[in-house]
């Protein structure tokens, strides 16, 4: 039998990582992509990998890699991201990185050898601060010089400036592209970030598809004026336009979406922002999701029509910038079956399910076969300080990743564990 993972080690590593970017006031983690805290986490990981002999490398996009096994051969790559949303939780992204590290640790500790090397990756800027999933896009060769030099966050802060501030040269991100064939597979363990697994009582979610995501930065422009002297019927109130649009979201989904559609106004700024002044400008983000790209297109067109009509009604101007468009994808069917088979063999209750959130796996499908494992999120909570996943579920997900990765990497049958018993092999 294969040796087991060391849950205490996984737990301690996750807790150590959670201290980087931790805010004592709201108990949230602040590791925004390409921030100083984010880079501290990357150098922390590099230090861990170096001490344990896993050959750390950081590429031009800030992705961190570690490796165990024969150099030059296609790798079975595992991992996720290290950055967080503001006031995020300790498991989102980090679990996938630490679980991949545990797979490397178990194999080294027990002298396990594989035909194909095992590789860890901690991707850069997955949370979409600058639109898209920067690190995974870089690995997949999906970046352009125009994007690198001109992309910006919702506050107008440029990606290139953020990179230079943390010691990265912007256009070096274009050199991070991995050649097709350099990865045998990509496997990502992640918390579900939703309530489905907890409600069903299943320990494992085997992801078969990942929703597409588009992100807009919208501006409704009216006229700032005195809140006491301007009659209600003569105002060009940008906030009233935003409020009307928010009210329209349910109708847009009912008429143009599906049961997997999501539309979210996530960040709002009103200008000039004075209690006694009518808002002359409303700037907000709009994020749309669906597992069907045609439905995503219908949703985006319906949002544009609604915003145009609302702008006319309130005497406003309407502008928007599409910061990103990530199409939906299907996970590799053989990897889906691999996860299900090993979950069954390990006695884990599982279900096949879609992911409503975007993940690095979406871009990894451009260069290799890819698949995802979900473990439950307590209360379905994520992107918040009270995000939690029970340690026994962390153990189950990490254990499943170990077994699946070793089959993909083709465990050498001659290798024995430290008790002298032959280790099990699997063939995909």
Token readout for 263 is: 């539309």
Closest among 389, 388, 404 to 345, alpha carbons compared: 404
Q: Identify each DSSP E strand in 140-291 by its residue range.
A: 183-191, 204-210, 212-221, 225-226, 262-271, 277-278, 281-290
Segment 126-137, tens digit of pLDDT: 998 998 899 999
Tokens encoding 240: 């009233």
> How confident is the model at residue 324, as a pLDDT?
84
- φ, ψ of residue 373 in degrees (nearest 5): -115, 135
Per-residue confidence (pLDDT) for residue 381, from 0 to 100? 95
- pLDDT tens digits for range 314-339: 999 999 999 888 888 999 999 999 99
- Cα gap 340→344, rounded to integer Å: 6
Cα–Cα distances in angstroms (integers) from residue 76 to residues 37, 44, 140, 185, in the given order: 29, 23, 15, 5
Burial class (CB in 10 A: 0-12, 13-18, 19+), 381: middle
Please tell me the predicted confidence (pLDDT) of residue 427.
44
- 335 contacts 371 by C-beta, under 8 angstroms: yes
Q: Exposed, middle or buried: residue 3 (CB in 10 Å: 0-12, 13-18, 19+)?
A: middle
Confidence of residue 422 (pLDDT cuts 50, 70, 90): very low
Q: Which residues of 354-373 are buried (b: 16+ CB within 10 A; e: fewer)?
A: bbbbbbbbbbbbbbbbbbbb
CB 360 within 8 A of CB 123: yes
For the chain, percent of residues with pLDDT exceeding 90: 88
Q: What is the pLDDT of residue 132?
A: 81
Average pLDDT over residues 293-320: 97
Report the pLDDT value the prediction gives residue 109, as an integer from 0 to 100.
97
What confidence tier does 1 reach under pLDDT thresholds 50, 70, 90? confident
Q: What is the pLDDT of residues 230-257, one digit of tens each?
A: 999 999 999 999 999 999 999 999 999 9
For 53, 227, 288, 325, 361, the CA distances from 216, given in Å and listed in that order, are 43, 29, 9, 9, 22
pLDDT band at 416 (very low <50, low <70, confident <90, very high): very low
* Mean pLDDT score, 194-213: 95
Task: State pTM to two decimals.
Answer: 0.83
pLDDT tens readout for residues 356-399: 888 999 999 999 999 999 999 999 999 999 999 999 999 999 99
Domains parsed from the chain with CATH numbers: 7-210+329-408 (3.40.630.10), 212-326 (3.30.70.360)
Query: What is the Cα gyration radius of the chain?
Result: 23
Mean pLDDT, the chain, rounded, equals: 94
Nearest-angstrom CA–CA distance, 116 and 122:
20
Quote the pLDDT of residue 345. Answer: 97
- List the beta bridge partners of residue 375: 191
Q: Over 60: is that where the pLDDT of 219 sits? A: yes
Position 420 scores a pLDDT of 42
Measured from the Cβ of residue 29, the count of other Cβ atoms closer than 10 Å reads 28
> What per-residue confidence (pLDDT) applies to 414?
53
Q: Which of 416, 44, 366, 51 is nearest to 177 (CA)?
A: 366
* Tokens linked to 428: 């995909």
Per-residue pLDDT reduced to its tens digit, 52-74:
999 999 999 999 999 999 888 99
Mean pLDDT of the 13-38 span: 97
Take residue 275 and report the two structure tokens written for it: 């209690």
* Whether the predicted pLDDT of 426 surpasses 80: no
Instruction: Dig out the tokens for 380 from the structure.
Output: 């379905």
**Per the structure block, which two tokens stand in for 388?**
């939690």
Give the percent of the chain with pLDDT over 70: 96
Contact criterion met (CB below 8 Å) for 206 and 338: no
């Amino acid at each position: 039998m294969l040796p087991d993972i060391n849950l205490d080690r996984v737990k301690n590593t996750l807790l150590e990582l959670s201290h980087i970017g931790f805010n004592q006031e709201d108990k949230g983690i602040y590791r925004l992509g390409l921030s100083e805290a984010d880079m501290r986490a990357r150098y922390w990981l590099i230090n861990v990998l170096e001490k344990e002999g896993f050959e750390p490398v950081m590429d031009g996009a800030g992705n961190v890699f570690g490796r165990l096994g024969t150099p030059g051969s296609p790798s079975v790559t595992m991992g996720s991201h290290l950055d967080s949303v503001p006031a995020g939780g300790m498991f989102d992204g980090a679990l996938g990185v630490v679980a991949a590290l545990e797979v490397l640790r178990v194999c080294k500790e027990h002298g396990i050898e594989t035909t194909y090397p095992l590789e860890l990756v901690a991707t850069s800027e997955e949370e979409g601060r600058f639109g898209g999933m920067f690190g995974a896009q870089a690995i997949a060769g999906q970046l352009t010089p125009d994007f690198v030099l001109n992309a910006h966050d919702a506050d107008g802060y440029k990606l290139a400036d953020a990179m230079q501030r943390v010691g990265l040269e912007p256009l070096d991100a274009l050199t991070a592209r991995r050649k097709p064939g350099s990865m045998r597979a990509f496997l990502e363990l992640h918390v579900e970030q939703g309530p489905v697994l907890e409600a069903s009582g299943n320990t494992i979610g085997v992801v078969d598809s990942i929703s597409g995501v588009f992100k807009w930065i919208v501006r409704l422009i009216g006229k700032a004026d005195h809140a006491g002297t301007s009659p209600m019927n003569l105002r060009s109130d940008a906030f009233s336009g935003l409020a009307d649009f928010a009210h329209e979201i349910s109708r847009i989904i009912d008429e143009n979406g599906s049961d997997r559609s999501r539309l979210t106004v996530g960040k709002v700024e009103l200008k000039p922002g004075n209690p006694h002044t009518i808002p002359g400008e409303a700037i907000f983000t709009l994020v749309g999701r669906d597992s069907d790209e045609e439905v995503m297109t219908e949703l985006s067109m319906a949002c544009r029509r609604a915003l145009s009509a609302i702008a006319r009604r309130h005497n406003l101007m309407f502008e928007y910038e599409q910061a990103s468009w990530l199409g939906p994808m299907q996970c590799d069917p053989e990897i889906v079956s691999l996860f299900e088979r090993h979950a069954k063999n390990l006695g884990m209750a599982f279900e096949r399910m879609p992911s409503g959130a975007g993940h690095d796996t979406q871009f990894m499908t451009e260069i290799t076969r890819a698949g995802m494992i979900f473990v439950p999120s307590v209360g379905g909570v994520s992107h918040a300080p009270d995000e939690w996943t029970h340690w026994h579920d962390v153990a189950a997900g990490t254990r499943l990743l170990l077994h699946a990765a070793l089959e993909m990497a083709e465990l050498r049958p001659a290798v024995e564990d430290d008790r002298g018993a032959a280790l099990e092999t699997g063939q995909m």
